[in-house]
Amino acid sequence: MKIKIVILLLVGVFASSCVQFKNEMNSNFDPTFTHVVYFWFKEPNNHADRVKFEASLKKFLENSQYAKTKFIGTAPKATRDVVDDSFTYSLILTFESAEDQAAYQTEPPHLIFIEECQDLWEKVIVYDSEGI
């Protein structure tokens, strides 16, 4: 009986910590400065290119000391004329300041990501904005 109680207690603690971790990840959105990047691949249906890109991008984001919110997405099929679904990947990052975003541009993980993946895309568009 004691073993069952200990196991239930451990499961409860683990579940609680997972929820807390998820909440912390979702609460990191800092509206001070957003950096939104859209990538158009040369070969958007090339599975190997996608695997390479995602692995390099995730490694970069895990090691960035400046980016707070870190969202990687793909385009869903557009259902309205005003929605552009032509991009291959989107990246949304937030920063505590414009200065942090500028520092991120030259941090080694970001530069390594660009070096590893720049041959995959044919077009990149960036939209930066500051919160009001």
> Cβ(91)–Cβ(36) under 8 Å?
yes
77/66 same-domain check? yes
107/49 same-domain check? yes
- When comparing pLDDT for 112 and 21, which is higher? 112
> Residue 51: its pLDDT value, please?
97
Lowest mean pLDDT among 6-20, 71-85, 114-128: 6-20
Q: How confident is the model at residue 78 (pLDDT cuts 50, 70, 90)?
A: confident
Backbone angles phi, psi at 129, to 5 degrees: -150, 150
Q: Which domain holds residue 58?
A: 31-130
> Residue 18: its pLDDT value, please?
38
> Cβ(91)–Cβ(117) under 8 Å?
no
39/84 same-domain check? yes
47/19 same-domain check? no
18/63 same-domain check? no
Q: What is the DSSP letter of 27?
A: T
8/37 same-domain check? no
> Residue 31: its pLDDT value, please?
77
Write the CB contacts of 50 (distance below 8 Å, at least 6 apart in sequence). Answer: 41, 88
d(CA 114, CA 127): 17
71/124 same-domain check? yes
Total domains in the fold of the chain: 2
99/40 same-domain check? yes
> Residue 28: its pLDDT value, please?
60
What SS3 state is found at 57?
A: helix
d(CA 55, CA 21): 22
> Residue 29: its pLDDT value, please?
66
68 pLDDT more than 80? yes
Q: How confident is the model at residue 16 (pLDDT cuts 50, 70, 90)?
A: very low
Q: How confident is the model at residue 44 (pLDDT cuts 50, 70, 90)?
A: very high
